[in-house]
Amino acid sequence: MSVTVAHTLDEALELLAATPSATVLAGGTDLMVELNMGHRRTDAVVCVNRVGELRSWRHDPGTDTLRIGAAITYAELMDAPLAGFSPALAQAARTVGSPQIRNAATIGGNVGTASPAGDGLPVLRALDAVVHLASTAGTRDVPFAEFATGPKRTVVQPGELITGVTIPVLNGFQGYSKVGVRNAMVIATASACLAVDTNGHTVRLALGSVGPVILRAPEAETIAVQAADFEAGTIDPEAIPAFAAAAAAAARPIDDHRSTAAYRRRAIEVLSRRLLTRAFPAPTPGASS
Amino acid sequence: MSATTATTTTTTTTTTTGAPVTGRLGDSPVRPDGIAKVQGSFAFSGDLSADGSLWGATLRSPHPYARIVSIDLSGAWAINGVEAVVTAEDVPGKPTYGLIDQDQPVFASEYVRYVGEPVAAVAANHPETCRRALAAIRVEYEVLEPLTDPERAADGTFPPIHPNGNVFRHQRIVRGDTEATGEVVVESDYEIGMQDQAFLGLEAALAIPDPGGEGVELYVATQWLHEDRGQIAACLDLPAEKVRLTLGGVGGAFGAREDISLQVHTCLLALRTGRPVRIAYSREESFLGHVHRHPARIWMRHHATRDGKIVKIEARIVMDGGAYASTSSAVLINAVTHMQGPYKCENAVVDGWAVRTNHLPCGAMRGFGVVQACFAHEGQMDRLAAACGLDPVEIRLRNAMETGDRLITGQVIENVAPVRECILETAALPLPDEPVGGHDGDPMRLPGGAGLTADRSHIRRGIGWGVAIKNLMYSEGFDDFSTARVTLRDGVASLKFATAEVGQGFVTLAGQIARSVLGVDDVVLEPIDTTVGSAGSTSASRQTWMSGGAVDGACRLVREQLFAHVGAQHGVDPLRLAIDGRDVVDTMGDLCVPVAQATAGLVFEDTFEHHHRPTEELDENGQGNCHTAFAFVAHRAVVDVDPELGLVKVVQIATAQDVGRALNPLSVIGQIEGGIAQGVGLAVMEEIVQIDGRVRNANFTDYLLPTFLDMPDVVATLIEHPDPMAPLGAKGVGEPPCISSTPAVVAAIRDAIGKDLTRTPVRPSDIVF
């Protein structure tokens, strides 16, 4: 097995062009487990976690968007200044593994692995993130919604590298909740991200670990938008159970050794209700009378 | 943040006139291996290596039950760097091994009976070569329908999957008036999942063959060197003395190292190749390669008077022992004989089966059958309390066992039995002063923790109780003696024993004993190996009692030699001499000779075997004095539960434990905290999931252990009444902490949500639906 350490983006892309079958290594927190368990074999590894272009982030005040380099770690996402741009991404980052894992694991790796249980992914889905890909042939941007085609399957082509993601910086509540059977360091049984865009009058709800890919719950979102007063920060309390039920209906969970479909669906209902209540803590006076 | 506060109800004070020796009994000296372990320089067995050593690896069955049609090794032999490929045909001696019944093949020959059963092994120049060699071995299987329902093994409706049949042991206990009834009757079914010992130091060994292959030296992490040696020698067809074992650094055991795993394979490959061979398991292989805690289904019925006094118990227990016997029959005996719990009970009908299935083999794990029994009898005590309108503490106090009471086996409890005191002292410990979510509303303190799933308003708090009795040492006529040799030379004591140090701290305690008895500061621990007599297993909460007794006995023999020498030199009757600090003193005169001076240039040496009192087998009605001694413990758990999501945060465990005498209080607290962590794990998350005979979570991603955020605060009281039967007054303390902590946590969850929970671990869906 060859292991090559790239120091610039061009170098990384040339290495990938030369060996399109090469495996990209950033934090290694997914890859090393797969190699050690014998679930994956590889002859060539291109190591990208020292590529400066991937280790940087940039806030564009003009578009109010945040571009996050693929090799930014969860430990960096958890804390200021990045946490200020997306509180939900910071919350999701905190739920990933142990401190050691968070110091190594990267957002690009999370996107590339495309596990339905990937902790950062519901946030990216709720925020309508864009994934940036590059190869020696050029670059392309893929909406996150179209990026994953199934569990651990993506549109990334041989020779292509995930260079980063861009998310909008929204004005409004963001929250991420994740259920696992342990109080930390656990794979999600079910997870949800709720993001409110007060300016754009949208409510976005994305669901993790309850489908082959990260799901949105458009019917629930519509219910919330119709019941919300974005200026006052209130919502008709009667809409909250309907919202939660619609979220649960949007889930497509399965039974496996971690949990059951029925539990996962129930968990989505509860998480969605609680997130919406956190987003609109003050009920509209008299709305339920 | 987990913090433990320890208090003692009785204090033993020693007045010392001579110079104090530090690190004596009752002190908490620094462990000799502690700093190396914390700093990462301690050599665990996985760190072993030898010049020119090869790597070994094991091919395992992919099927829970199948007939081996053929094995083709040619592909493995064809790989450059492969030095040996062995199967059942290459085992020179006994083809099977086992602690009680030798029914487990070194390598499967005709049938494989569980996923992970060894079929072949290879030795090669590199782990990667081993991997390729294993992949190149072609095994043709005829897949058979696996036996996965232990009830079908017990009721005899499944054809035998082994020549010895599908039942390892059936034991009935019938005592007193079997027709007795009570005014109050409560009954329920209970289920306990399969727990893994989950030690952190994976299985690893290094075997070095003697020139000419006449013997072998094995460095291995194990719990019982001499038992390993006997089984290895039988399989290799070597005299026992030609198999020499040295303890490799052990990173935890909890019962999982009591059985043979890689020992015979490693030695066989070394003898075949004439070169040192090392095998080191991965985590996944470790899950497949050692025995586990028996899953169990228990039905139990209690009859009681209106005021809550137990009249009769009835129970039916089925324990799934998996594919091979291991210690299943002994685990079963522990379960059936402990079904009454630490409570007075005159009448009983108990039926227990340990059965064979195509699941992972089960054997010893901390608590050894009593964990399962306790989960059922403590669930019953809470039902009884509710039926009688009593609170959980009162029902237990009314029935608390005392010294002189009889077990349902007819055996009289002769040990100190402070059950009542354990309960009352636990109840006296303060409840947590923190509100739900902690004082500062830290979401990490809520159920769900880092997942930010709940707010304070969603949480309900509950309190639950568990009380346990646990036997100490081996049972049913087994003489599990221990041996120690002590050499006193120039004021330095050297200790030689084969007691496996698995993390419990016997290496610390042995030095404390020698310092106390011999008045020396310096104690040298010789290598732990088979060049001295057996120490028995580091299990059954027995080494402080048994090996402690052996070291104490050997030290006393040496001290007699010393006193005889000093007495002769100074014309004083040796009976008048005593150790005071570092000196030999005349208790009736002025003589005071420092031990170092009295032993200058001299050697005093002696060996002592400590045997516990004999025990008996049970008769067909389960009657007999089968156990050696008993210890007791109480636990009170406080939990916060999110009922809608079924998530739990264990907030606090309070405990009072009957320890006899705390020889090393810090070590006792360590055992209490560690045992509680394991008990909490079994209560809310730890379970090996097998579906159709296949393990689905043989890794730490999906087999969840409590993290720091899941571990409750522990408040502990040590109940110290030195036991006259124990050599040093000290009872074993390792197992009780993990026995009743599990039912206490589950009872607290029931209390929080007002729902019946009869299965452990409690899964979120059990709470929600």
B686, B690, B684: which is closest to B703 by C-alpha?
A: B686
Quick check: do B11-17+481-610 and B47-144+202-250+257-289 share a fold?
Answer: no
- Find the range with the poorest average confidence among A24-38, B371-385, B546-560: A24-38
- Residues 6 or more apart in contact with residue B72 via CB below 8 angstroms: B137, B138, B139
* Residue B4 confidence (pLDDT) above 80: no
What is the distance in angstroms between the Cα of B168 and the nearest Cα belonging to chain A? 29
Going through B180-251 in order, the beta strands assigned E by DSSP cover 184-192, 204-209, 216-220, 243-247
Q: Following CA atoms B331, B334, B340, B346 in sequence, which dihedral angle do they give, to the nearest 10 degrees?
A: 130
Average pLDDT over every residue of B211-235? 97
Q: Which helix (H) or strand (E) holds B376?
A: helix B370-388
CA distance B300 to B312: 11
CB B185 within 8 A of CB B301: yes
CB A197 within 8 A of CB A171: yes
pTM score, whole prediction: 0.96
CA distance B657 to B423: 9
What is the distance in angstroms between the Cα of B149 and the nearest Cα belonging to chain A? 18
CATH for the B11-17+481-610 domain, from 3.40.630.10, 3.40.50.1820, 3.30.365.10, 3.20.20.70:
3.30.365.10
The answer to whether the Cβ–Cβ distance between B131 and A38 falls below 8 Å is: yes
Average pLDDT over every residue of B178-188? 97
In this prediction, residue B22 carries a pLDDT of 80
The answer to whether the Cβ–Cβ distance between B765 and A259 falls below 8 Å is: yes
Q: Where are the domains of chain B?
A: 11-17+481-610, 47-144+202-250+257-289, 296-475+617-768
Mutate to test the interface with A, among B688, B700, B765 (most CBs of A within 10 A): B765
Pairing verdict, β B66-72 and B111-112: antiparallel
Mutate to test the interface with A, among B60, B131, B444, B452 (most CBs of A within 10 A): B452
CB B687 within 8 A of CB B393: no
In this prediction, residue B2 carries a pLDDT of 40
B748, B761, B675, B683: which is closest to B716 by C-alpha?
A: B675
In this prediction, residue B467 carries a pLDDT of 98
Average pLDDT over every residue of B266-274? 98
The answer to whether the Cβ–Cβ distance between A37 and B689 falls below 8 Å is: no
Other CB atoms closer than 10 Å to residue B74's CB: what's the count? 10
The answer to whether the Cβ–Cβ distance between A181 and B284 falls below 8 Å is: no
Mutate to test the interface with B, among A181, A191, A265, A269 (most CBs of B within 10 A): A181
Would you give the DSSP letter of residue B178?
A: T
**Chain A residue with minimal CA distance to B689?**
A257
**Chain B residue with minimal CA distance to A184?**
B450
* Residue B8 confidence (pLDDT) above 50: no
ipTM metric: 0.95
Query: SS3 letters for B29-96?
Result: CCCCCHHHHHHCCCCEHHHCCCCCCEEEEEEECCCCCEEEEEEECHHHHCCCCEEEEECHHHCCCCCE
Which of A94, A182, A262 lies nearest to residue B710, judging by beta carbons?
A182
Which of A185, A186, A263 lies nearest to residue B768, judging by beta carbons?
A263
Facing residues of B244 across strands? B217
In this prediction, residue B11 carries a pLDDT of 31
The answer to whether the Cβ–Cβ distance between A181 and B685 falls below 8 Å is: yes
The answer to whether the Cβ–Cβ distance between B710 and A95 falls below 8 Å is: no
A54 by DSSP, 3-state: which? Answer: helix
Mutate to test the interface with B, among A183, A256, A264 (most CBs of B within 10 A): A183
CB A143 within 8 A of CB A38: no
* Residue A288 confidence (pLDDT) above 80: no
The separation between the first and the last C-alpha atoms of chain B, rounded to the nearest angstrom, is 32
Identity of the amino acid at B498? A
Give the model confidence (pLDDT) of A90-122 as tens digits: 999 999 999 999 999 999 999 999 999 999 999
Mean pLDDT, all residues of chain B: 95
Residues making up chain A, counted from first to last? 289
Give the model confidence (pLDDT) of B591-610 as tens digits: 999 999 999 999 999 999 99
State what percent of residues in chain B have pLDDT above 90.
95
Which of B644, B645, B697 lies nearest to residue A257, judging by beta carbons?
B697
The answer to whether the Cβ–Cβ distance between B768 and A266 falls below 8 Å is: yes
| Helix/strand/coil percentages in chain B, nearest 5 | 30, 25, 45
Which of B691, B701, B764 lies nearest to residue A263, judging by beta carbons?
B764
Tokens of B514: 């020698």
Q: Which helix (H) or strand (E) holds B741?
A: helix B741-753
CB A71 within 8 A of CB A51: yes
B296-475+617-768: what fold? Aldehyde Oxidoreductase; domain 4 (3.30.365)
Which of B691, B699, B707 lies nearest to residue A184, judging by beta carbons?
B707
CA distance B472 to B107: 34
* Residue B466 confidence (pLDDT) above 80: yes
What is the distance in angstroms between the Cα of A190 and the nearest Cα belonging to chain B? 10
The yes or no reply on domain B47-144+202-250+257-289 and CATH 3.90.1170.50 is yes
Query: SS3 letters for B87-134?
Result: CHHHCCCCCEECCCCCCEECCCCCEECCCCCEEEEEEECCHHHHHHHH
The answer to whether the Cβ–Cβ distance between B709 and A187 falls below 8 Å is: no
Instruction: Write out the residue limits of the CATH 3.30.465.10 domain(s) in chain A.
Output: 2-168
The answer to whether the Cβ–Cβ distance between B699 and A177 falls below 8 Å is: no
Which of A179, A259, A260 lies nearest to residue B451, judging by beta carbons?
A179
For chain A, helix (H) and strand (E) counts, in that order, are: 12, 17
Q: Label residue B609 exposed, middle or buried (CB < 10 Å: 0-12, 13-18, 19+).
A: middle
Give the model confidence (pLDDT) of B393-426 as tens digits: 999 999 999 999 999 999 999 999 999 999 999 9
Tokens of B619: 């008769």
Q: Which helix (H) or strand (E) holds B272?
A: helix B263-273
In this prediction, residue B16 carries a pLDDT of 39
Going through B536-673 in order, the beta strands assigned E by DSSP cover 577-580, 583-586, 592-594, 603-610, 629-642, 647-658
Average pLDDT over every residue of B314-338? 98
* Alpha helix ranges (H) inside B466-579: 506-518, 543-570
Sheet containing strand B583-586, edge to edge, reads B577-580, B583-586, B592-594
Other CB atoms closer than 10 Å to residue A171's CB: what's the count? 12
Sheet containing strand B66-72, edge to edge, reads B111-112, B66-72, B138-143
pLDDT band at B21 (very low <50, low <70, confident <90, very high): confident
The answer to whether the Cβ–Cβ distance between B451 and A178 falls below 8 Å is: yes
Tokens of B172: 């009935």
Give the model confidence (pLDDT) of B706-736 as tens digits: 999 999 999 999 999 999 999 999 999 999 9
CA distance B417 to B712: 27
The answer to whether the Cβ–Cβ distance between A181 and B710 falls below 8 Å is: no
What is the distance in angstroms between the Cα of A120 and the nearest Cα belonging to chain B? 12
The answer to whether the Cβ–Cβ distance between B706 and A185 falls below 8 Å is: no
Give the model confidence (pLDDT) of B616-656 as tens digits: 999 999 999 999 999 999 999 999 999 999 999 999 999 99
Which of A37, A183, A262 lies nearest to residue B769, judging by beta carbons?
A262
**Chain A residue with minimal CA distance to B697?**
A257
Chain centroid offset of residue B343 CA: 24
Pairing verdict, β A57-60 and A65-69: antiparallel
Please count the residue pairs, one from chain A and one from chain B, whose beta carbons lie less than 8 angstroms apart: 100
**Chain A residue with minimal CA distance to B456?**
A274
CB B675 within 8 A of CB B738: yes
pLDDT band at A269 (very low <50, low <70, confident <90, very high): very high
* Residue B693 confidence (pLDDT) above 80: yes
What is the distance in angstroms between the Cα of A268 and the nearest Cα belonging to chain B? 9
CA distance B456 to B504: 39
Mutate to test the interface with A, among B1, B58, B194, B453 (most CBs of A within 10 A): B453
Give the model confidence (pLDDT) of B126-157 as tens digits: 999 999 999 999 999 999 999 999 999 999 99
Query: SS3 letters for B81-99?
Result: CEEEEECHHHCCCCCEECC
Tokens of B489: 């030379």
Chain B positions touching chain A (beta carbons under 8 Å): 131, 282, 284, 444, 447-455, 458, 644-647, 649, 684-685, 689, 691, 696-697, 699, 701-702, 704, 706-710, 763-765, 768-769
* Alpha helix ranges (H) inside chain A: 9-18, 31-36, 74-78, 82-85, 87-94, 99-104, 107-113, 121-126, 144-147, 218-227, 239-250, 261-279
What is the distance in angstroms between the Cα of A277 and the nearest Cα belonging to chain B? 11
A266 contact residues in B (CB cutoff 8 A):
768-769
Which of A37, A258, A270 lies nearest to residue B284, judging by beta carbons?
A37
Would you give the DSSP letter of residue B592?
A: E
**Chain B residue with minimal CA distance to A98?**
B707
Calculate the alpha carbon distances from B261 to B87, B266, B505 in Å. 15, 10, 24
In this prediction, residue B3 carries a pLDDT of 41
CA distance B121 to B133: 9
The answer to whether the Cβ–Cβ distance between B764 and A175 falls below 8 Å is: no
Our CA angle for A255, A260, A262, nearest 5°, is 115
- Give buried/exposed letters for B96-133 (b at 16+ CB in 10 A, else e): bbbbebbbbbbbbbebbbbbbbbbbbbbbbeeebbebb
A174-279: what fold? Enolase-like; domain 1 (3.30.390)
CA distance B557 to B38: 36
B503, B501, B505: which is closest to B529 by C-alpha?
A: B501
Going through B164-203 in order, the beta strands assigned E by DSSP cover 167-175, 184-192
Give the model confidence (pLDDT) of A156-185 as tens digits: 999 999 999 999 999 999 999 999 999 999
pLDDT band at A283 (very low <50, low <70, confident <90, very high): low
B434 by DSSP, 3-state: which? Answer: coil
CA distance B24 to B35: 19
CA distance B653 to B2: 10
B588 by DSSP, 3-state: which? Answer: coil
Domain A2-168 - what CATH class? alpha beta
What is the distance in angstroms between the Cα of B456 and the nearest Cα belonging to chain A? 12
Facing residues of A133 across strands? A140, A162
What is the distance in angstroms between the Cα of A141 and the nearest Cα belonging to chain B? 31
B685 contact residues in A (CB cutoff 8 A):
181-182
* Residue B67 confidence (pLDDT) above 60: yes
* Residue A289 confidence (pLDDT) above 70: no
A176, A76, A79, A204: which is closest to A119 by C-alpha?
A: A176
